[in-house]
Structure 1
């Protein structure tokens, strides 16, 4: 429960800074993905469901749960459940293998004040900046 509470706190902080963030916990045969974003439900719901489906596939689970939170208040906006039997799918396998890998971009300039090496990272991971995004930000 502490891991879930800490993950939700990190997601909310990161979403307030970046506009959206997510956190996933896998269990024995299921899991939970928590998203926080400012997007309208018509955009947020399909994004959450797609992410849940990929996480469900990567964990070889038959069901997965999701929550979308308001970054401003932490209130639950909506919940989702994805249920269908797991089976191998080459395209899903390739997409699931890309989870957590950020695409390369021309510029990764961060907005906001400059962080010190020992400050908490801007991504909301809870790690020190030097152990998290310093190298990726070109430091």
Structure 2
């Protein structure tokens, strides 16, 4: 553990963990290869941009991705190449933006987008009714 890793006992009963940063986990470990909906980040070393994108896309999930860079070309390339439903450049992400359609790629998606402009379509149950008043 680079930071955290323990139970957040000050939050009372329940399954709460401290914000945690882990290094040295192999790419195929559950810590890296599964979605963790909690304050946990696994850091993987990469020799450069191409390897970093390859590692990021190697997971069966694709909810969200972030890239921090000063290079606009790298940012635009990452936005295109990242296999994620939400991509942020120079911003952190929790994987959800309430003003935008929510959903990921690959195993992170149910196929629907229930927020943003897509919300009306998601929450509408269509019905067709024909009436012959005669």
TM-score, length-scaled by structure 2: 0.28
Q: Which has the larger radius of gyration?
A: 2
Structure with higher strand content:
1
Higher relative contact order (CA 8 A, sep 6+): 1
Structure with higher helix content:
1
TM-score, length-scaled by structure 1: 0.27
